[in-house]
Amino acid sequence: MQKKILKIQLLICFLLASTFSNAVALSDLDSFPTKRLKKELIPATITFATGAAFAGIPALRKIEKAVYYGFNPTRKLTSVDDYTQYVPAAVVFAMDAAGLKGKNKPQQQFLLYALGNVTATVIVQPMKRIIGRERPNKSDFHSFPSGHTSTAFVAAEFLHQEFGHYSPWISIAGYATAATTGYLRMYNNEHWLGDVLAGAAIGMASTRFVYWMNGKMKKRKAVKIQGI
């Protein structure tokens, strides 16, 4: 147990160090400071640390199991979570089709969404195999973190970034849909609470990082054009 806790702690440090080192390496433009990214990643960092704590600390795992076993034991499994993970992203493109203007053009939106998913996958999949946590249904040892929840929060943050300026309720609806995906992953015996929290954090942080990078690139291009 102590070795597993140590693994989780080391992975937390690696995740934060890799994210912030990339930010520092790209912090040459004062108009888009690294401090902004660090502030934006605070909620995701806290959520990830909480999920890791639930997964690795015995006392908290008791709470986690109590949450899991609090579901109705006669529950019927559903595949709805296979689709809800993509709903917020689908809303972005539906709003584009309706003529609403997001923060970026549709082609750029698609690229940013794809990069957000790639970033999250690069973090989630190796972590699943390194930690090797068993799923509640005992189907394999790839429980931590939740991939479906990560994908759902990539999409929710994507919606927030593109259309959240129209109304806070758009962002709230996106995050609520992503949270529903996380809930269903537990309901379907696929994940524990800690897995879902960690997946949500990774998805949200991945998209925020990608948008931060995109902003820096735009600023860099603007500086070059002005310098010509």
Enter the tokens of residue 83. 């689709």
pLDDT at residue 153 is higher than 70? yes
Mean predicted confidence (pLDDT) in 165-179: 96
The domain tally of the chain equals: 1
Q: Could you list the residue range(s) of the whole structural domain that residue 116 is in?
A: 2-227
Q: Which helix (H) or strand (E) holds 109?
A: helix 106-131
Summary mean pLDDT of the chain: 84
pLDDT tens string 185-215: 999 989 999 999 999 999 999 999 999 999 8
Predicted pLDDT of residue 223: 64
Q: How many Å apart are CA 92 and CA 174, to the nearest integer?
A: 10
pLDDT at residue 25 is higher than 70? no
Short-list 8, 96, 48, 16, CA closest to 201 = 48
Q: How many Å apart are CA 186 and CA 188, to the nearest integer?
A: 5
At 41, the pLDDT band (50, 70, 90 cuts) reads: confident
Domain of 147, CATH number, reads: 1.20.144
pLDDT at residue 155 is higher than 70? yes
Q: Are 187 and 154 in contact (CB under 8 A)?
A: no
pLDDT at residue 23 is higher than 60? no
pLDDT at residue 24 is higher than 70? no
